Amino acid sequence: MQKSLLKEIILEQEKDRQAVDLGIKRTTLDFVSKQIPLPHAVVISGIRRCGKSTLLNQTINSFYGKGVYYLNFEDERLVDFEVADFNSLYEVFLELYGERKVFFFDEIQNVAQWEVFVRRMQNKGHKFFITGSNASLLSKELGTKLTGRCVSIELYPFSFMEYLLFKGYEMQKNALSYTTERASIKKHFSGYLRHGGMPEYLKYSDSTLLKRVYEDILYRDIVARYDIKQVKALRELGLYLLSNIGALFSYNNLTKILGVGSMNTIKSYADFLENSFLVSLVNRFSYSLKQQFVANKKIYCIDNGLAESIAFQFSKNKGKFLENLVFLELKRRHPEIYYYKTANSLEVDFLTKNGKKDISLVQVADNLDNEKTRQREIDALTYAMDELKLKKALILTEDTEEEIKLKGKAILVQPIYKWLLE
């Protein structure tokens, strides 16, 4: 690439970066700050528009000031940038700013073999902060040239605590103990449940922003990158998955529903959607990996607002939105999440696993007012607790709080908004 063009892009982007609104402090920034003394590259991944660029800016402003090199590869003028152009880029950085030790690269997956340059410069003592919107590409590259030399962080849309900060609500000590404060938190929770946590959408309240994220994922991140021929099938699959959060599916059934000839095609398309962070496909828990792979999977979406803007009617699917919200918070807190099915085919929404022995069960329900619903949720948990030899489990509801004790077992029932703030 022409060095004159690179210089123009760098100066323009730096001017824009310094003028951008930093927004609320992301909780992930605390974890990022702990990686600064390490020589490892810090790789931040997540869905488009969830705040990765803002997190980079917060890192620069909080810990480095102006003493870094910065480039966002989403700029359309960099569409032909190749790995060989990194030398020219580095020369331009040196000409503009002199020797600096830290690089910040946004949406790096747009450049094939970027990790070769990063590895070479790491060997010379340089530090890297990198973002990307494709889990597969990043993991493939990190697993070759940067094995053991990077720290991976997944950034999500706003948590409920971040949502409250964004809305200008500051949690007081023991706020949940006061009726007025609790009422205010519950009101905000209703908004968060429906609208999710995508920062730009919450700022402008324009659902077309979410639809644009969805279209960019389909066409820029998947169709263009993987040269997809059956675009209609991809669109229909994306709509189907977002319209069925919390539901079970099999690739075989999806192939029949969408009328696509090959099950492998549908599986590949589903993988592309998951690697773009739009959806998560959750396995049934089993100690047998083979059983995990062949059993039906459950579908969840990265953001409630995104699901509603593309596919859902909130009022008709409130229970599914509650379940999706719980899944997203569990994903923040636990490395492994499954659903569980008992020997007598009762289903528990979530089983979380931290290591071999730390297993927890979580059930989600609108409420437990209906006796039939209440008994179904309790039965599923008690059977699962027996099979897994657990003494405790959790039911999360919209606004119910109690403790259920059954023959040496305890089931805590807790409002989701309260659990989210723990």
CA-based R_g, the chain, Å: 23
Q: What is the pLDDT of residue 135?
A: 85
Spell out the domains of the chain, with CATH numbers in brackets.
3-154 (3.40.50.300), 158-277+296-315 (no CATH), 334-422 (no CATH)
What is the per-residue pLDDT across 42-96, written as a single tens digit (0 to 9) for each? 999 999 999 999 999 999 999 999 899 999 999 999 999 999 999 999 999 999 9
What's the Cα-to-Cα distance from 169 to each of 160, 175, 194, 290, rounded to whole Å?
Answer: 11, 11, 18, 47
Among candidates 296, 297, 298, 359, which has minimal Cα distance to 323? 298
pLDDT higher at 147 or 414: 414
What is the per-residue pLDDT across 379-410, written as a single tens digit (0 to 9) for each? 999 999 999 999 999 999 999 999 999 989 99
pLDDT at 141 over 70: no
User: What percent of the chain has a predicted confidence (pLDDT) above 90?
Assistant: 91
pLDDT at 145 over 80: no
Q: Are 329 and 360 a contacting pair, CB within 8 Å?
A: no
Q: Are 221 and 133 a contacting pair, CB within 8 Å?
A: yes
Specify which residues 419 forms β-bridges with.
none
Residue 144: pLDDT band with limits 50, 70, 90: confident
pLDDT at 245 over 90: yes
Average pLDDT (134-148) is 76
What is the per-residue pLDDT across 4-47, written as a single tens digit (0 to 9) for each? 999 999 999 999 999 999 999 999 999 999 999 999 999 999 99
User: What percent of the chain has a predicted confidence (pLDDT) above 70?
Assistant: 99
pTM: 0.96
- The pair of three-digit structure tokens given for residue 399, joined into one six-digit string: 């606004």
Q: What is the pLDDT of residue 161?
A: 97
Average pLDDT (131-151) is 81
Q: What is the pLDDT of residue 355?
A: 83
Residue 196: pLDDT band with limits 50, 70, 90: very high
What is the per-residue pLDDT across 160-184, written as a single tens digit (0 to 9) for each? 999 999 999 988 888 999 999 999 9
What is the per-residue pLDDT across 311-369, written as a single tens digit (0 to 9) for each? 988 888 999 999 999 999 999 999 999 999 999 999 999 999 998 889 999 999 999 99
Q: Please state, rounded to an integer, the average pLDDT across all residues of the chain.
A: 95
Residue 140: pLDDT band with limits 50, 70, 90: low
Backbone angles phi, psi at 269, to 5 degrees: -65, -40
